[in-house]
Amino acid sequence: MPDAEAPRLLCVETYEHKPLSYMTEQAAAGLAELVRTAVFVPTTTRTREQYRRVRLPGPAPRFAVCANGGELLVHGESDPAWRARVDRALADGCAPLTEVRARLLRTADPAWLLKERTAEDLFAYLVVDRALLPKTWVEDLTEWADTRGWSVSLQGRKLYTVPKPLTKSAAVAEIVRRTGAREVLAAGDSLLDADLLLAADRAWRPGHGELAETGWSAPHVNVLEERGVLAGEAIVGAFARAAADGGRIPANGHAQQPASP
């Protein structure tokens, strides 16, 4: 948009001494109010360490979901019983992380591979040069992973391989059980958010991200035209209006960032 029309931004994440993630000041004000009137649950594929870099406005959330549902934080601390439950599900439901990681390292081309990481001993991801990453390589990996109970998601420069039993919706369902919430409101933009959006009573999908690129939707999912921080602002506003009568549990699948060029 023209510079004169650009919203004022609040930095909510700093990484290596540089500002990284933002939300509009209006979204920040709305979120600060929302967390006082509803159970707001930051829900992310980030590791616990990566999540703790994000400083959202308002009181610290009582619950947070990290590692795509593998870690359930209560007052900032991991719930060991939940992690044990996740580990049991993964042991019975899919190929081990070591097998998937070995495939990634064996087949990735140094010409486009920038970094390789594992997250919380639960899943693996690559940081890639998106312009050089062959589409056929991603397609072959997706087919191979699917037969072993894993999913593949390409988000910007990161390519995730995640066990199918590892879901955000399962962790949020546990929080619903603990809080007795009557309705779940959710938002997200990636393939790894889809299970959460489908499980929610009402959901929102922004105009950017993996789900928008594929045209993904569902009958109860509101498709927004807004992208980046403006989508974040619209989602916070929608959450606030929907939760105005109380008893709701908004879950957010991503930290708000400006859309990349």
Q: What is the pLDDT of residue 258?
A: 39
User: Across the strands, what pairs with 80?
Assistant: none
d(CA 186, CA 249) in angstroms, rounded, equals 8
Angle between helices 97-107 and 135-146 (to 10 degrees): 160
Kindly report, residue by residue over 37-90, the tens digit of the pLDDT. 899 999 999 999 999 999 999 889 999 999 999 999 999 999 999 999 999 999
Q: What is the pLDDT of residue 2?
A: 87
Q: How many CB atoms lie within 10 A of CB 28?
A: 22
81/261: higher pLDDT = 81
Q: Does pLDDT of 260 surpass 60? A: no
Side-chain-side CA neighbours of 150 within 13 Å: the count stands at 27
Structure-token pair, residue 180: 């007795």
Closest-CA residue to 35 (of 239, 231, 177, 172): 239
Kindly report, residue by residue over 152-205, the tens digit of the pLDDT. 999 989 999 999 999 999 999 999 999 999 999 999 999 999 999 999 999 999
Kindly report, residue by residue over 6-35, the tens digit of the pLDDT. 999 999 999 999 999 999 999 999 999 898
Q: What is the pLDDT of residue 261?
A: 30
Q: What is the pLDDT of residue 1?
A: 77
- Averaged over 206-223, what is the pLDDT? 95
Q: What is the pLDDT of residue 66?
A: 98
Q: What is the pLDDT of residue 250?
A: 74
Q: Does pLDDT of 247 surpass 60? A: no
- Averaged over 106-131, what is the pLDDT? 97
Backbone angles phi, psi at 71, to 5 degrees: -125, 125
Q: What is the pLDDT of residue 248?
A: 57
Side-chain-side CA neighbours of 210 within 13 Å: the count stands at 18
The 3-class secondary structure across 49-99, one letter per residue, is: HHHCCECCCCCCCCEEEEHHHCEEEECCEECHHHHHHHHHHHHHHCCCHHH
Q: Does pLDDT of 246 surpass 80? A: no
Q: Return the sign of the alpha-carbon dihedral for residues 238, 244, 250, 256.
A: positive
Q: What is the pLDDT of residue 190?
A: 94
Q: How many CB atoms lie within 10 A of CB 78?
A: 16
Q: What is the pLDDT of residue 76?
A: 95
- Averaged over 217-239, what is the pLDDT? 95
